[in-house]
Structure 1
Amino acid sequence: DVSALESLLVDKAKKVMVKLSPMLDMSLALNELKTVRSVHIVAVNNECKELLLILQKEPVSSEISIHCEHIAGNGESQHYTFTLKQEKASACPLTDQVGTYLYEPNVAILKAGAFRSLTQTYPVMKLHLSSHLYTSASLVPDFPGRRFRVESVSGFGKKELKAFLKDMDKANITIRNFPLSVAELRKRLKLKEGGDDYIFATTLSGGQKVLIRGKKC
């Protein structure tokens, strides 16, 4: 029980690293432990692997720094650091228009909940407060996540869908703030899994349900 041993641990060592389950709710750990000075979330190939807390008796800063680390299979690494105060104070510009590029934050950032501060660090706008997808007119090559060039956007009208799905028999589907599951949507669209096309089913800030088709940058 780390919370029971916390005072003893920080008395014995200048710094203590606590390795927690990557499935644990980070906010729960921060509420339980009183000497957390930084959090490190480590992901590999978009799968959260580690949730690490650094405990220290003497505060270095009044703010806990949260470090999001992501390592891709090709060796590319992405790093993003923020504080909960920054996240809470950040404005979050929303848009109802899907731009030329679409961005999905990596899993370390999603785990950390750095949704608002991303729009202050990078020149992107959020599609919806709960969708966690971002867009821009120009490519942001260092955005910490997957980057797509938007091919088309569609609502769920019959003619719209027909044009949207033209020449496409398979696709990789992602659901973000959308009422159907991936399996349900795949069945409705009659698409196999795989290929070079990516479809994001999401909700725009005005409440409109849309499908966004893109190709990886």
Structure 2
Amino acid sequence: MQKEEIINHFQSKVPITTDDINCFFDLVEFKSVKKNEHIVRQGDSSLYFILIKSGCLMTYFKDKHDHKHAIQFGQDMWWTGDLDAIFNSHESSYSVKAIMPSEVYLLSKENFEQLIQKCPVFEKYFRILYQNALISHQKRIIRNISYTAEEKYLEFVKIHPRLELIVPQKYIASYMGITPEFLSKLKRKLAQS
């Protein structure tokens, strides 16, 4: 993905100037990430807003039994990170790792604050992202409490058609709140119908 695609992404949300774009790129840090490499580990205090330039990242929570619970999968032009930890200055509750080789831009809280001060259009951009994320999370909660496993899986594939080819089945099952074995049975059943 070229810089122009990132600019186009911003422009699809808000009217943005060349100065705004330059300010953004001055404040972010580019990083290439290998498959299975962590950008953030649960308990870290050095945290970032993470823009995925290319690839796929998984945000997950590890419980006291060391089970990984997938919270989010992010692809090209998605943002991720532990907003609670970033905004409230505490250690991260989540880990973020690359599911495949990925390229990301990291934006620290301090640089985020500078960005929205210097370029107020980014405040509107992030407001739009946050409201869309809240809507998405509310829909996911409804799916989790009211859909059958089959309905959850079909909706997952509909919303994220490419992810099933990229993300290991155990993480998709975790995201849906079912076991990998049950997901295998469900996929076999759907393939036969």
Same fold (TM over 0.5): no
Structure with higher Rg: it is: 1
Specify which structure has the higher proportion of strand: 1
Q: TM-score, normalised by structure 2?
A: 0.30
**Higher relative contact order at CA 8 Å, sep ≥6: structure 1 or structure 2?**
2
Specify which structure has the higher proportion of helix: 2
Q: TM-score, normalised by structure 1?
A: 0.27
